[in-house]
Copies of this chain bind each other. A is one copy, B any other.
């Protein structure tokens, strides 16, 4: 189902869908789901509301697509870190890359999955749950990778791999909160230095 399988009839679209979506990602990232108004979204995306609704359906659907796009664009690095050879290397490369991503230029600091809507109005509680599920998905993936590392013997026997994954993800979320508040990259890396001592203590 490509962009070009539309029959040629009718006026062609005046904008690129992915480009508009990318701009929506930035707005949601900076202001959160509830803090991003349709006016600001359409303004940043360069389209008017009927176009937005025709293509994305609703604000909530746009947000879900924005999160998916965010994952593919900005969190793709995380999958690569899982391919490191040892548990320690996985965790170190993940945390280092996370700090870089959280504080790199060209986009708002922090993490969309947290700033997007940690807590919402009752009518939007589905947004918070959606984001929580999204976050826990990576924790599960990391836990599986660490369980494999335990089987392969690069963690000290008896290590609680689920807790270790949770520790890493928890620190990552804290880093995101810090980054959103404007913390600098070096400061966050110094926190990672200390966290890695804990990881070293359970690695071998």
Counting CB contacts under 8 A, is A34 at the interface? yes
Counting CB contacts under 8 A, is A61 at the interface? no
Task: Indicate if the CB atoms of B194 and A163 lie closer than 8 Å.
Answer: yes
Q: Which segment of A17-25, A63-71, A73-81, A112-120 sits at the interface? A: A112-120
Task: Indicate if the CB atoms of A202 and B197 lie closer than 8 Å.
Answer: yes
Counting CB contacts under 8 A, is A157 at the interface? no
- Contact among B31, B110, B198 for A198, CB-based, below 8 A: B198
Task: Indicate if the CB atoms of B120 and A118 lie closer than 8 Å.
Answer: no
Interchain nearest-CB distance for A203 vs B (Å): 11
Q: Which 4 A-B pairs have the closest CB atoms?
A: A174-B174, A198-B198, A170-B174, A163-B190
18 contacts between A and B (CB under 8 A): A31-B119, A32-B118, A35-B124, A37-B121, A110-B119, A115-B119, A119-B180, A132-B182, A135-B177, A136-B181, A162-B190, A166-B183, A166-B190, A169-B178, A170-B191, A177-B177, A200-B201, A201-B201
